[in-house]
């Protein structure tokens, strides 16, 4: 037997062995499922509470047969047009495609999808059928808003999963790689699949980036600073100044606790923190603890006190300055808004200006995340947390990834398991995989009071530290950032805050999404942003009168905040005030892994 045949045989044997191991693991999981109590089994089989919504949708479809027949006729007409186009193309004639993918759709970027008649037909047939199915399910009449939203969203998930790009024999890139490597891509893919199943303890935890490529404080989260204060929930970072003079009022940043703060300090070239230092701000950042059983009983009152009010006190001790500006990002912004209302009720006027990055206060139009939040799903989620007191790290990652499943799930499925490639090195994806836990009481309070009941938007709808929270009492200047393609905090939802706060609000719409819409340094010269200087209170009017500006919005924000920052003073160095240095940034809290 020659060497090539030997290698091919060895590869086939390895592939078979790996699939046998995976099959055994699946059998173990199935046995565990089948022996679970009935209620638990039901939740495992339908954890997203989808079946009832689809059942009601099917009933409405059957009740309107004329509309269903019309939809089917349209589907057949489009497929007939596709057959005609395919026939013309085979005969060498020029023919316009019946269905084309969006320019942003990277599933069909290989040239074979256009140039090879077979794959061109497969691609167009899929696009025609998938769009028909989504439209048919979206147009169902007689469903509640919640059911209609859930049916549409999960139909899209099914359609994305069934893309021909996700299967070995209908993806030209995978076929080519399989032939050229003698099937070694599938051997490597099986090994990658086994690795990710083991990492998820039986659940598939797709590796999106090289987990060993970065080290906090060495090549990511490297902006020099010191931990000058800490309590159970946070470490407070004070960063080293980069200018001789600084704005008098320090800047306190409250990032989301569902992720780690260093999204704002990935690399020097894209660090918002480093850039803000260069503009003359004294920057403080809250680094949240990664909760375990010891912090399981923490409540939203604790997050308000230890996450915002205590750091505000610490900043005064560190700098001698009571007045500050703040930034709240995502859920950190939601808590910041509540904190400002609490402070207003207490006649606490230390915060003189606030910026919100992709943060919501009115959740009535909170987008696709709402499909995961109803009473049944929340009951199942609460049950998951009863034993430990917290939600496991990464448990929310699937929901976030499903909002952009083609980019954040299926592209990695193809790369890792079908092409058998190693994950890339990418700072943003490393941060995304560095998941955090959620304490039970805080997480359930947030989901119920904000997403499910939208009580934060109602004056007195929630109470924190025995104080009714009324966002209309917030009268300080507000910079409200949203992003055009944000799937987590949709810009129409963010815009609603403009009509809740009572002070002057500058709403700005950035290009891109929840992360890149924020982390867009001027040096990158990417994307754009829209601004309407008239700042009308109606979103349609705002959009109609908005002017597009190229590149980053960061300078616009600085031009807004600098005049509100109290003049200039000599730069402050961490440790020079009343607070001693505890340790170097990025600190120890951020290094605690969620697994």
- Has residue 132 got a pLDDT over 60? yes
In this structure, what token pair is assigned to residue 164? 């021909």
State the sign of the Cα–Cα–Cα–Cα dihedral 336, 576, 265, 395: negative
What values do phi and psi take at 485, rounded to 5?
-110, 25
pLDDT of residue 456: 98
pLDDT of residue 400: 84
Confidence of residue 43 (pLDDT cuts 50, 70, 90): very low
pLDDT of residue 46: 53
Q: Please tell me whether residue 445 adopts helix, strand or coil conformation.
A: helix
- Has residue 285 got a pLDDT over 70? yes
State the sign of the Cα–Cα–Cα–Cα dihedral 45, 50, 56, 60: negative
Confidence of residue 95 (pLDDT cuts 50, 70, 90): confident
In this structure, what token pair is assigned to residue 96? 């316009």
pLDDT of residue 42: 42
- Has residue 547 got a pLDDT over 80? yes
Calculate mean pLDDT across residues 216-227.
97
Catalytic option among 300, 330, 335, 488: 330
Average pLDDT over all residues of the chain: 90
Query: Which residues lie closer than 8 Å to 84 by C-beta, 6 or more apart?
Result: 95
- Has residue 275 got a pLDDT over 90? yes
- Has residue 554 got a pLDDT over 90? yes
Confidence of residue 449 (pLDDT cuts 50, 70, 90): very high
Please count the other Cβ atoms lying within 10 Å of the Cβ belonging to residue 96: 8
In this structure, what token pair is assigned to residue 245? 């003079």
Calculate mean pLDDT across residues 366-391.
90
pLDDT of residue 424: 87
330 is catalytic: yes
Indicate the DSSP class of residue 322: -
pLDDT of residue 62: 80
pLDDT, tens only, 64-86: 888 888 888 999 999 999 999 98
pLDDT, tens only, 380-404: 899 889 889 998 887 777 788 888 8
pLDDT of residue 24: 54
**Residue with structure tokens 């002070």?**
503
Higher pLDDT, 550 or 46: 550
What CATH number belongs to 225-361+464-591? 3.40.50.1820
pLDDT, tens only, 329-350: 999 999 999 999 999 999 999 9
**Long-range CB contacts for residues 135-144, cutoff 8 Å, separation at least 24:** 135/71, 136/61, 136/68, 136/71, 137/57, 139/67, 139/71, 140/57, 140/60, 140/61, 141/60, 141/64, 142/60, 142/63, 143/53, 143/56, 143/57, 143/60
pLDDT, tens only, 234-274: 999 999 999 999 999 999 999 999 999 999 999 999 999 99
Calculate mean pLDDT across residues 164-185.
94
pLDDT of residue 12: 54
**Following DSSP, what letter does each residue of 52-113 receive, concatenated?**
HHHHHHHHHHHH-HHHHHHHHHHHHHHHHHHHHHHHHHHTT-----S----TT-GGG-STHH
Domain ranges in the chain?
A: 36-181, 225-361+464-591
Cis omega (within 30 of 0) for bond into 457: no
- Has residue 30 got a pLDDT over 50? no
Calculate mean pLDDT across residues 101-108.
90
Q: Please tell me whether residue 323 adopts helix, strand or coil conformation.
A: coil
pLDDT, tens only, 488-505: 999 999 999 999 999 999
Percent of the chain exceeding pLDDT 70 equals 92
pLDDT of residue 384: 86
Report the alpha-carbon distance of residue 500 to residue 278 in Å, rounded: 33
In this structure, what token pair is assigned to residue 130? 């998938």
- Has residue 181 got a pLDDT over 80? yes
- Has residue 19 got a pLDDT over 90? no
- Has residue 152 got a pLDDT over 70? yes
- Has residue 33 got a pLDDT over 50? no
- Has residue 278 got a pLDDT over 90? yes
Confidence of residue 20 (pLDDT cuts 50, 70, 90): low
Confidence of residue 38 (pLDDT cuts 50, 70, 90): very low
């Amino acid at each position: 037997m020659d060497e090539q045949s030997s290698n091919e045989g060895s590869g086939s044997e390895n592939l078979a062995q790996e699939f046998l191991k995976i099959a055994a693991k699946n059998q173990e999981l199935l046995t565990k499922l089948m022996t679970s109590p009935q209620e638990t089994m039901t939740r495992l089989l339908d954890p997203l509470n989808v079946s009832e919504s689809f059942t009601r949708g099917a009933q409405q479809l059957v009740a309107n047969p004329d509309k269903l027949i019309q939809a089917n006729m349209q589907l057949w007409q489009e497929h007939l047009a596709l057959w005609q186009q395919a026939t013309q193309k085979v005969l060498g004639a020029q023919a316009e495609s019946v269905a084309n993918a969006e320019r942003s759709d990277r599933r069909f970027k290989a040239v074979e999808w256009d140039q090879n008649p077979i794959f061109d037909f497969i691609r167009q047939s899929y696009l025609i059928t998938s769009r028909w199915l989504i439209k048919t399910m979206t147009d169902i009449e007689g469903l509640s808003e919640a059911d209609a939203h859930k049916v549409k969203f999960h139909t899209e998930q099914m359609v994305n999963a069934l893309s021909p790009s996700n299967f070995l024999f209908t993806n030209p890139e995978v076929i080519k790689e399989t032939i050229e490597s003698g099937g070694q891509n599938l051997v490597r893919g099986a090994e990658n699949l086994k690795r990710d199943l083991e990492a998820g303890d039986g659940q598939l935890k797709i590796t999106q980036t090289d987990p060993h490529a970065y080290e906090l404080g060495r090549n990511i989260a490297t902006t020099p600073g010191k931990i000058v204060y800490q309590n159970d929930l946070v470490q407070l970072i004070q960063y080293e100044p980069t200018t001789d003079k600084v704005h008098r009022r320090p800047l306190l940043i409250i990032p989301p606790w569902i992720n780690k703060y260093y999204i704002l300090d990935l690399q020097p070239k894209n660090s918002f923190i480093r850039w803000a230092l260069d503009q003359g701000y004294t920057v403080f950042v809250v680094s949240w603890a990664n909760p375990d059983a010891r912090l399981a009983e923490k409540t939203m009152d604790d997050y308000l006190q230890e996450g915002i009010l205590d750091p505000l006190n610490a900043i005064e001790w560190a700098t001698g300055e009571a007045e500050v500006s703040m930034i709240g990002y995502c859920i950190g912004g939601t808590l910041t808004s509540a904190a400002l209302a609490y402070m207003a009720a207490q006649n606490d006027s230390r915060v003189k200006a606030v910026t919100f990055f992709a943060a919501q206060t009115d959740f009535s139009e909170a987008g696709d995340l709402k499909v995961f939040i109803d009473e049944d799903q929340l009951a199942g989620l609460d049950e998951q947390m009863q034993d430990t007191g917290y939600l496991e790290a990464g448990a929310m990652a699937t929901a976030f990834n499903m909002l952009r499943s083609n980019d954040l799930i299926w592209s990695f499925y193809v790369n890792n398991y079908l092409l058998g490639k190693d994950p890339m090195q990418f700072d943003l994806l490393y941060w995304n995989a560095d998941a955090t836990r959620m304490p039970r009481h805080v997480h359930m309070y947030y989901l119920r009071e904000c997403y499910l009941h939208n009580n934060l938007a109602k004056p007195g709808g929630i109470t924190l530290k025995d104080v009714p929270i009324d966002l209309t009492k917030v009268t300080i200047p507000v910079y409200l950032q949203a992003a055009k393609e944000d799937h987590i905090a949709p810009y129409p939802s963010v815009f609603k805050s403009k009509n809740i706060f009572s002070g002057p609000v500058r709403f700005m719409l950035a290009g891109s999404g929840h992360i890149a819409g924020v982390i867009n340094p001027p040096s990158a010269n990417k994307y754009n942003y829209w601004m309407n200087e008239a700042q009308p209170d109606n979103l349609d009017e705002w959009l109609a009168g908005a002017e597009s500006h190229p590149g980053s919005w960061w300078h616009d924000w600085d031009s807004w905040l600098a005049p509100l920052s109290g003049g200039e003073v000599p730069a402050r160095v961490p440790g020079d005030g009343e607070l001693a240095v505890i340790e170097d940034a990025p600190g120890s809290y951020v290094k605690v892994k969620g697994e």
